[in-house]
Amino acid sequence: MKQTKHEPTAAVASQDAAAYPRDLALCVGGQWRGAPGRETLAVRNPASGAELGRLPVATDEDIDDALRHADAAFATWSRTSAWDRAAILMRAAQLIDQRRGELAVVLTLENGKPLADADGELSRVIEGIVYCAEECKRAYGRQLPPRSALLTQTTVKRPIGPVAAFVPWNFPAFLAARKVAAALAAGCTVVLKAPEETPAIGMLLVRAFLDAGVPAGAIGLLYGKPAQISERLIASPVIRKVSFTGSVPVGRLLAMLASRHLKPCTMELGGHAPVIVCDDVDVARTAHACVAFKYRNSGQVCLSPSRFFVQDCLYEPFVAHFVEYASQLQVGDGLAQGVRMGPLNNERRLAAATELVDDARRRGAQVRLGGARQAGAGYFFPPTVLTDVPASARILREEPFCPVAPILSFGDLDAAITRANAVEYGLAAYLFTNDLQRAATFAEDIDAAWIGINNFTPSLADAPVGGVKDSGLGYEGGPEGLDAYQQIRFVSQSNLRV
């Protein structure tokens, strides 16, 4: 499917909160349930702190109704042919493409990322939905060699059942669409618990799926108190699968809840990605690539590079280039032209970034760039670079999820890999070298599931992303992503008369 290309213009960049949906709502059984009669939460623009709207909090009745509709819709949606499901998903992708101008502005308003990045996220949304539409027609089974005359033995894939899906605020469009599209493509219904910080983009995506022909009830949308919603959804006998993207502590908690009911989980959790820069690379070019990927979405990316190990002879030149390029990033409101990095999404992340930098500084680290909240409104924290960071600093052990880059030196590659592996995370890892033996060694020895050598690659529709150690269970994306929402049945059929 050819996507519409959108370039941010002065007219688009000048749009403000007037573009934000006036009535935020839950979606239950194809009906929108607004704020009247419900507790509400404030939704804020991270670039200014101003309130964008009031979000209704789901009640127990709302949650139970969403479950009831998902259960009822599964009976028909699971028996809808893969070709018909694919056609509906393709229409959803087309509608999102047609509406992407509105969606990108809304995404920037409530998430904070630059408008060009919001538009890029929607491109990945569309690509992911299209991929799932195509892949659902390839849910192949196997035919086993017969063990006796007129015996047919096969395996077939069938939808696992209604899904509870939980997504975070850092990529609220892409992560929601990836779960919803894969579940629907596999023949499952889904109750989506989307993030309270970025609710409007979830509403607009669900509306596109419904407008495309997804049956009422096959997709539900809830917001509110995360513990209340997650506990009630996971405990329900209706839900047969749990899919979560977010932090390790919350993922561990949801996995424990699911384990009580023996429900399978897909968990895409946190990361603390190392970047190892060897002494045989172009230092300026490599530093430029590292800066561009590190400060994408203000560092609020699970795959973001967050620990830089640079070989001794390149260390000071790399730091100098890194600081130079990072200092040139224009930070500001994502709707303003020329902005390369927006604010952090919320006060929690702002406080966390400040605490990590202060902790490193107290332990002896040097702040080469940034290091403190920007003055004025909004949740702005500038690109920050730390050197001389001691091993005891929290930022080397905890997922930063902020625009702070600690840069360390190393002498021997094996020792660098050992240091890189010395955390509980194992999501992404990156290496820059022109030596094939070093590259092969790194790919074999690093504890990570998403590995980049001489490049950084965001999540792709056709590639599985998952984690090792505390970074997750299972995979999303690629054919493995659809397999996560299917169960395999073995069928042995004798064709002899009985």
Active site residues: 268, 302
Phi-psi region of 251 (alpha: psi -120 to 50; beta: other; left: phi over 0): alpha
| Non-local CB neighbours of 183 within 8 Å, separated by 6+ positions | 163, 165, 189, 190, 241, 243, 485
| DSSP per-residue letters across 80-92 | S-HHHHHHHHHHH
User: Residue 498 and residue 493: Cα distance in Å, rounded?
Assistant: 12
User: Residue 407 and residue 385: Cα distance in Å, rounded?
Assistant: 7
| Non-local CB neighbours of 190 within 8 Å, separated by 6+ positions | 70, 162, 163, 164, 165, 179, 180, 183, 184, 218, 219, 220
Pairing of strands 151-159, 142-144: antiparallel
The H-assigned helical ranges of 195-314 are: 199-212, 226-235, 248-260, 283-294
Token pair for 140: 């192949």
**Coil, strand or helix at 237:** coil
**Coil, strand or helix at 21:** coil
332 membership: H or E segment, kind and range:
none
User: Residue 383 and residue 404: Cα distance in Å, rounded?
Assistant: 6
Token pair for 462: 């056709």
Contacts of the segment 325-328: beta carbons below 8 A, 24+ positions apart: 325/287, 325/288, 325/291, 325/292, 326/291, 326/294, 326/295, 326/369, 326/370, 326/383, 326/385, 326/405, 327/369, 327/383
Strand partners for 406 = 386
Token pair for 78: 């699971």
409 φ, ψ (degrees, to nearest 5): -110, 160
97 φ, ψ (degrees, to nearest 5): -65, -45
Strand partners for 28 = 31
